[in-house]
C-alpha cells in the first residue's frame, strides 16, 4: 500500500531539514516541488493497479507509464482528439494494447469532463 502524499511529504521534509553541507544546498534549491514528488507515488500506484488488472508484463510497463504521464502533464488542456491522437501514437510506435490504454484513460479520469 502506498502512503498518502501528506505522509510522504512530511517524511521527506524531516529528512531534508536534517541534512548538512552541500546536500542542503542541493536539496533546498527553489525548483524542487515536494508536493509533486509526494503525489507521484499515488499516481504510480493507480497506474500499477490498472496494469496488474490487465496482466501487463513487467518488461512492457514503462510504455504505459509514459502514456499516462504524458496525458497527466497535459490534463488541463486535454480534448478527446488529443487523447485519441496520443493513443494512436502509442499503439503504432510503442506497440501498446488499445484496451489497456482505454483503461488508463478511464481509470485516471483523463477524459475531459470526467469526474
Task: Decide which of 47 and 20 is more confident.
Answer: 47
Q: How confident is the model at residue 46 (pLDDT cuts 50, 70, 90)?
A: very high
Q: Count other C-beta atoms under 10 Å from residue 62's C-beta.
A: 10
Domain residues of the chain, as ranges? 5-107
For residue 19, the model assigns a pLDDT of 66
* Radius of gyration for the chain, computed over Cα atoms and rounded to the nearest angstrom: 17
Task: Decide which of 113 and 87 is more confident.
Answer: 87
Calpha distance 95→57 (Å, rounded): 13
pLDDT digits (tens, 9 = 90+) for 8-24: 778 877 776 666 666 66
Q: How confident is the model at residue 107 (pLDDT cuts 50, 70, 90)?
A: very high
Calpha distance 2→55 (Å, rounded): 20
Calpha distance 106→46 (Å, rounded): 11
- Report whether pLDDT(115) > 60: no
- Report whether pLDDT(75) > 50: yes
Calpha distance 104→32 (Å, rounded): 28
Amino acid at each position: 500500500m502506498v502512503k498518502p502524499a501528506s505522509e510522504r511529504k512530511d517524511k521527506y521534509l524531516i529528512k531534508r531539514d536534517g541534512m548538512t553541507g552541500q546536500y542542503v544546498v542541493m536539496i533546498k534549491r527553489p525548483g524542487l516541488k515536494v508536493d509533486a514528488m509526494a503525489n507521484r507515488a499515488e499516481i504510480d500506484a493507480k497506474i500499477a493497479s490498472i496494469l496488474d488488472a490487465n496482466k501487463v508484463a513487467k518488461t512492457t510497463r514503462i510504455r504505459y507509464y509514459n502514456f499516462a504521464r504524458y496525458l497527466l502533464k497535459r490534463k488541463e488542456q486535454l480534448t478527446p482528439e488529443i487523447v485519441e491522437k496520443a493513443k494512436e501514437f502509442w499503439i503504432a510506435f510503442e506497440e501498446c494494447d488499445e484496451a489497456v490504454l482505454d483503461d488508463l484513460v478511464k481509470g485516471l479520469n483523463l477524459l475531459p469532463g470526467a469526474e
